[in-house]
Amino acid sequence: MKRQVKWMVYGIMLLLSVGCREDIDALYGVKGRPGIPVCFTTAWLQDETRLKRGIEGKKNFKDTDVIHVSAEFTLDPQTTDSKKEEKVTKYTILTLENGAWVNTRTEEQYEMTWPWNATEAKFTAYYLENWTGPIAQVGVELEPVVLDRFAYRDSVFNPDPLEAVTEKIEYGHAVHLEFRHLCTRLTLVGVDDEDEYGLRFKPVGGKERPLKNACTMMLDDKNGLRFRFVEEESRKITAQADKGNDEDSVTFHLAPGDYSTFSLNCQDGYPYITISNVKELGRLEAGESYTVSLEDLKSNITQDGMDDYWGDDDDTITTAKYDNFNIKDFMNAIKECNKDYTCTLNGDTVTLLQKGKYRNEMTLMANVDFNGESFIPEDLPDIVTFNGGGFSILNLVNPMFNTLYGTVKNLNLRGARLIHKESDPNTPLTADHDTGWGVLARVCEGGTVINVSLADAELDITLHNGDGQDKAYCIGALVGKLPRGSLTDIMLSGSIKVTAEAANLEAAYTSCMGGVVGQCNGTLANVDNLRGGSGAEIVVTNKCRGTGSRYTGGVVGLNAFHGFVHAEPRQQTARTLALHAVHMAEVMGVEHVGCGFDFCEFMGPGNEGAEGLESAAHIRNLFYWLEKLGMNRQELEMVARGNFLRVLAGPDLPPQ
């Protein structure tokens, strides 16, 4: 019944429009006749999508929604000067008010009426939540809208571009716009317990496959609308996970195309998995939804690590020379976190730092070379996140930050050389100046550092300890001092050298040095120096002498208590402990592994050592297995005593 009433209304509108046209013809002269407003209705194609999980696309309009409309009118050749069929194109935006599409624009250029001599017309319309104002510049594309989908406060941002294209509509008839979804939707079921995931294409053979992760629109010189998917600088699409079902899932809005191979990152940018060669995802079509279970794709999934995140070949890192790049302005833009930081390259504007639209986050959009230029480090506030985006900052000669209160993630620091021999009279003597040294920060005070790579760094620091104060000097390759906060998923590669000496041998002082952090009271986890199997050469040299206290690196002691060796009783053996020791030597170097046994059998049942390590008399069993597993005689000597003797004696005792 409702459908019948609806069509009766349309019929009455048509009769009225035709009748009005005849009356207007009699009232006005030939070319002075005003056009009549175009009447619009909207609908949705039914059963277009087959969503099974995840969020659904837009299915209806609400008041204040805005659509962009372009109309191509065909004029009666009997009424044109050329006596030929001519076209007139108009553009406007319409706003939904009380269920009706209304043209709220009063400018003549946005008028949407039937020309008096039109015979028919075709209409094209687009909707996207972000496009709420008219297009003022002809031939200039709108700023790309990234197809990210996430919740912010009480709103869900769900970019879902829609298009409606009509066939020929006769003069005066109401225009019925049936919208379709331009994106395809991919739902992955069975993801880990993360809040957010990012989809990207990994470089293959050093070549990037473009990911059309955004959409844009423009108005051409004939008032026609042109929509297209484009690659935006972030090169990824982010979506929040959908929870509350039997399994967590994540849904991406994507440009139609081939997604047979792609990678997922976790919320912090850390690599998660790569899905490869899934034929069923080789052609995702617009308006369709595809749901796949990760459980069903086991054979197509590989776990990614930090090596995958940082690319195929670090030696290929290149940087552009920007015309007006300024380090002070660059670092201040990170600190202030209120707008993008742009430079020019070959006359074009390039965004180097992109301010997050809804978060206090600055994202690095390209590799940046500091070119060995000195600058005064700033603090990173606790409300600010600096996201390296997987890009590199090269050739630092100062700590990048003074005190790090905020978050730094997904950043590669490369080729830093911090050579500090003389006090700089131009540098403000802050509390932490000269007492904390690290490529990323002097001090990490409650901050978070996650997924950061340090490659080919050198620190050669003279401690200016002659001011009569008993200070503690902390020197680490990445961070000088970590009183609180966390450093997680840190990767070292290439040559890492940390050297320090004291200027005044008579003054009291303390020096703390390490290959990652000088002094750590916070959390340090998941440190990897085995990139690509080649590893990093990490050399920490403490040349400090005099009356000061000196702490360099350290040694991890092997614990023979059976419960620490392995959870399963049958694996609680001297051989298993030897396997632990070999792995520790591979990860952090054999110079940091030593004997730290707890022989507690005298405390009664339940306190025994592992099988073969029941007491101090059985220590030789451990070294038997270490030798069997490949350690040479010099390495066995280092594990047995040399490493601990070196640390206990300080720098006056040469390495064993």
The pLDDT tens digits of the residues spanning 193-213 come to 888 899 998 776 556 688 999
d(C-alpha 144, C-alpha 623), whole Å:
63
Helix axis angle, 574-588 to 619-628, nearest 10°:
60
In this prediction, residue 209 carries a pLDDT of 81
Of these ranges, 171-180, 310-319, 346-355, the one predicted with the greatest mean pLDDT is 171-180
In this prediction, residue 32 carries a pLDDT of 54
Which tokens sit at 190?
A: 């069975």
In this prediction, residue 648 carries a pLDDT of 64
Under DSSP, is residue 590 helix (H, G, I), strand (E, B) or coil? Answer: helix
User: Is 15 exposed, middle or buried, given 0-12, 13-18 or 19+ CB atoms closer than 10 A?
Assistant: exposed
The predicted-structure confidence for 36-93, as pLDDT tens digits, reads as follows 999 999 886 554 444 333 345 566 788 999 999 999 999 999 998 888 999 999 999 9
Q: Which of 154-163, 199-208, 317-326, 607-616 has the lowest mean pLDDT?
A: 199-208
The contacts of residue 3 (CB under 8 Å, 6+ apart) are none
Cβ atoms within 10 Å, residue 171: 20
Which tokens sit at 209?
A: 């496959």
CA atoms within a 13 Å half-sphere pointing along the CA-CB vector of 219? 20
The predicted-structure confidence for 335-388, as pLDDT tens digits, reads as follows 999 999 999 888 888 889 999 877 889 999 889 999 999 999 999 999 999 999
User: Is 133 exposed, middle or buried, given 0-12, 13-18 or 19+ CB atoms closer than 10 A?
Assistant: exposed
Is a pLDDT exceeding 80 seen at residue 309? no
Helix, strand counts (H, E) of the chain: 8, 44
Q: 151 near 157, Cβ under 8 Å?
A: yes
User: Is 512 exposed, middle or buried, given 0-12, 13-18 or 19+ CB atoms closer than 10 A?
Assistant: buried
Strand extents, DSSP E, 346-440: 348-355, 361-364, 368-369, 378-380, 385-387, 392-394, 401-404, 407-414, 417-420, 436-437
Strands 509-514 and 549-552: parallel
The predicted-structure confidence for 227-261, as pLDDT tens digits, reads as follows 999 998 778 898 988 887 788 999 999 999 999 99
In this prediction, residue 155 carries a pLDDT of 61
For residues 393 and 570, the model is more confident at: 393
Kindly state the average pLDDT of the residues 403-417. Answer: 94
Q: Could you tell me what percent of the chain has a pLDDT over 90?
A: 41
In this prediction, residue 147 carries a pLDDT of 92
pTM for this structure?
Answer: 0.55
In this prediction, residue 18 carries a pLDDT of 46
H-type helices in 96-186, by residue range? none
Kindly state the average pLDDT of the residues 591-598. Answer: 79
Q: How confident is the model at residue 463 (pLDDT cuts 50, 70, 90)?
A: confident
The contacts of residue 385 (CB under 8 Å, 6+ apart) are 356, 359, 360, 361, 362, 406, 407, 408, 409
In this prediction, residue 500 carries a pLDDT of 86
Q: 557 near 606, Cβ under 8 Å?
A: no
DSSP label at 276?
-
Is a pLDDT exceeding 50 seen at residue 638? yes
For residues 513 and 53, the model is more confident at: 513
Which tokens sit at 240?
A: 């929040």
For residues 154 and 8, the model is more confident at: 154
Place of tokens 């809804």: 358
Q: Nearest to residue 258, comparing CAs of 209, 291, 205?
A: 209
Q: Which of 478-487, 577-586, 646-655 has the lowest mean pLDDT?
A: 646-655
Distances in Å between the Cα of 434 and the Cα atoms of 248, 304, 399, 402, 477 are 48, 39, 11, 11, 15
In this prediction, residue 587 carries a pLDDT of 58
Q: How confident is the model at residue 13 (pLDDT cuts 50, 70, 90)?
A: very low
- Region of 92 (left: φ > 0; alpha: ψ -120 to 50; beta: rest) is beta
d(C-alpha 621, C-alpha 475), whole Å:
38
Strand partners, 380: 404
Under DSSP, is residue 544 helix (H, G, I), strand (E, B) or coil? Answer: coil
Average pLDDT over all residues of the chain: 82
- Type and span of the H or E element at 292: strand 289-293
Kindly state the average pLDDT of the residues 616-641. Answer: 87
Q: Could you tell me what percent of the chain has a pLDDT over 70?
A: 80
In this prediction, residue 599 carries a pLDDT of 72
d(C-alpha 465, C-alpha 472), whole Å:
9
d(C-alpha 248, C-alpha 211), whole Å:
25
The predicted-structure confidence for 270-308, as pLDDT tens digits, reads as follows 778 899 989 999 999 998 999 999 999 988 888 776 555
The predicted-structure confidence for 530-581, as pLDDT tens digits, reads as follows 554 456 678 888 777 765 666 666 667 778 887 778 878 888 898 988 898 8
Q: How confident is the model at residue 656 (pLDDT cuts 50, 70, 90)?
A: very low
d(C-alpha 222, C-alpha 241), whole Å:
43
Q: 207 near 269, Cβ under 8 Å?
A: no
Cβ atoms within 10 Å, residue 558: 22
